[in-house]
Amino acid sequence: MYKVVEKKELAPSVYLLRIEAPRVAKSALPGQFVIVIADDTAERVPLTIANYNREEGWVDLVVQATGPSTKKLGSVNKGGFVKDFVGPLGVPSEFIHETDEELKQKRYLFVGGGIGAAPVYPQVRYFHERGIECDVILGFKNKDFVILEDEFKEITNHLYITTDDGSYGDKGLVTEKIDALIAEGKEYDVCVAIGPMIMMKFVSLTTKKHNLHTIVSLNPIMVDGTGMCGACRITIDGETKFACVHGPEFDAHKVDFDEAMKRQKQYFREEKTKGKSARSMEELLVKGVK
């Protein structure tokens, strides 16, 4: 059992859970994920790590409570417990293999869409701790769904927020903001984008026309988190990969997004019939739904 030592509601049905997990915190690196099981009847939920503290031994997760298992996670209050908390899993972000001096020679742009802002945070913090400034674009549906703004302001002086309806920040999509910044004369060497699959696809198309190397996290397609279910099978530069084993981060310009999004939707009809969310795919797989 793993104790929830802090809980915050960041937006409607979006919660930050701080889990006491010293071993995971000690080994966690930006880009990795954990598998969480709320209780004996809940499914496995792979979630990208949103923050961690090695000294205090905790890991932050941001959960959007939409399906049965994520709603169970969202209902756990401070002082409560989750049954299992496994990790860190996945391949860390590629930049951790570079020296600080090498990173200082590059200009990074981070783009987060919706709750994708959460896994972007530890990556930007990694640069901040090394005295390296990064530009950050965060896109949300509207003002009510803006999350982690204050936290990002503490680690970057270059934060841009967009909302679809213009209720907060700049009106428009993150792709429009990327174009605008580059048009203003901003130059970047690497873009890291994390969010919904459709958002990452169009960020990839946008950065490709600017010849900007881009990394995306394919966590949204993961179900089992170990490579055993095959649900996160994707094509990268013509080769078959598994997002949970070989990723979750990949070169965006090599990802077959159309195939990945079709795979992500393959159980939507059954889930809708059962009144479930995208995070209930594992149960459908176990039951043999085709």
What's the whole-number mean pLDDT along residues 55-79? 89
221 has a pLDDT exceeding 60: yes
Rounded CA separation 31/2 (Å): 22
Percent of the chain's residues with pLDDT above 90: 57
Check residue 73 and give its pLDDT: 85
Residue (of 111, 120, 118, 161) closest to 141 by Cα position: 161
Q: How many other CB atoms are there within 10 angstroms of residue 180's CB atom? A: 15
Task: Compute the distance between CA of residue 172 and CA of residue 164 in angstroms, rounded to an integer.
Answer: 5
pLDDT recorded at residue 234: 76
User: Using the 8-state DSSP alphabet, how is residue 92 labeled?
Assistant: P
Under a CB-based contact definition with an 8 Å cutoff, are residues 1 and 83 in contact? Answer: yes
d(C-alpha 92, C-alpha 144), whole Å = 31
The Cα 258–Cα 72 span in angstroms is: 31
Residue 256 has pLDDT above 90, yes or no: no
Q: How far apart, in whole angstroms, are the C-alpha atoms of residue 50 and residue 115? A: 10
pLDDT tops 80 at residue 142 = yes
Residue found under tokens 């999350």:
147
Give bridge partners of residue 136 from the DSSP assignment. 110, 159
User: Nearest CA to 9 among 168, 147, 153?
Assistant: 147
Q: CB of 168 within 8 A of CB of 181?
A: no
Q: What is the CA radius of gyration of the chain?
A: 18
What average pLDDT score do residues 259-273 get? 61
CB 219 within 8 A of CB 243: yes
- Banded model confidence at residue 224, pLDDT cuts 50, 70, 90: low
User: Mean pLDDT over residues 217-234, rounded?
Assistant: 68
pLDDT band, very low/low/confident/very high, at 225 (cuts 50, 70, 90): low
The tens digit of pLDDT for each residue in 83-118 reads: 988 889 888 998 999 999 999 999 999 999 999 999
Q: Read off the pLDDT of each residue in 130-134 and give the average, rounded to a whole number.
A: 93
Tokens of residue 50, six digits: 């949103």
Residue 220: count other Cβ atoms within 10 Å of its Cβ: 25
31: its two tokens: 């880009």
Q: Residue 66's closest CA among 259, 225, 220, 289? A: 220
